[in-house]
Amino acid sequence: MHIQVNDDIVLKRLEADDAESLFALTDASRHHLREWLPWVDGTVHIRNTRDFIAFCEQQHAANNGFNAGIWYKGELTGCIGYHAVDWANKKTSIGYWLGERYQGNGIMSGSCRAMVDHAFHELGLNRVEIRCGTGNAKSRAIPERLGFVNEGLIRQAEWIYDRFVDHIVYGMLRQDWNEGAGAHGRQESGN
């Protein structure tokens, strides 16, 4: 899978050859990522990244999700993906992270917009969720910017190293996306 977001941003499936770049990106952003992502401390060697990519390949082969690298101007800058696809209920959730030095360039907003559009128009899904830690303002800004509805709070939804984190659940329905949120977002990104 390959999604051209705009002239600068491409989303493409992670491959074994990406392990070194992905591990280096994770390692360079370790402190920044650790605050909100529970897998960071377990990614201490390139083999951990290779295992993650192998998992992503299995997930994709089973038609149960998709993880992409985010390339900005030819450089791997982060990841975005469908955690799992619930085909029976036509829904998925999106997760994402970006290397610290790449933030503030519209990379994640454009990437997330493209993944939502793909979920609705290519996969035929009806609902997309994004869950974010309540204190993760940068991550929460993405669904808010894209017009997702804040559907509520899940208390103590995730254990991250030494504390429970509450999550906000954001939801978008295909009908709402088609009636305004998606069209507005495509105009902003030049798509």
pLDDT surpasses 70 at 188 = no
Centroid of chain to Cα 6 = 17
Q: At what angle do helices 107-121 and 137-145 cross, to 10 degrees?
A: 50
Q: Specify the amino acid at residue 114.
A: A
Q: What angle do CA 34, 166, 176 make, to 5 degrees?
A: 105
pLDDT, average across residues 79-95: 94
The total number of structural domains that make up the chain: 1
pLDDT at 182: 62
Structural domain including 109 reads 2-189
Instruction: For residue 84, give Cα distances in angstroms to 20, 125, 145, 165.
Output: 25, 12, 23, 21
Fill in the amino acid letter for 140: R
Token pair 């499936």 in the structure block, residue = 13
Res 170: pLDDT: 98
85 contacts: CB under 8 Å, gap ≥ 6: 63, 64, 65, 66, 91, 92, 123, 125
Query: How sure is the predictor about 186, in pLDDT bands with cuts at 50, 70 and 90?
Result: very low
Picking from 14-28, 49-63, 154-168, which range would have the lowest pLDDT averaged per residue? 49-63
Residues in the chain, overall count: 191
Does residue 153 carry a pLDDT above 50?
yes
Average pLDDT over residues 163-187: 83
CB count within 10 Å of CB 99 equals: 22
What's the CATH number where 152 sits? 3.40.630.30
pLDDT of residue 115: 96
Cα–Cα distance, 77 to 89 (Å, whole number) = 32
At 63 the pLDDT is 78
> CB–CB of 99/80 below 8 Å?
no
What number is the average pLDDT over the span 68-94?
95
Phi and psi torsions of 60, nearest 5°: -65, -45
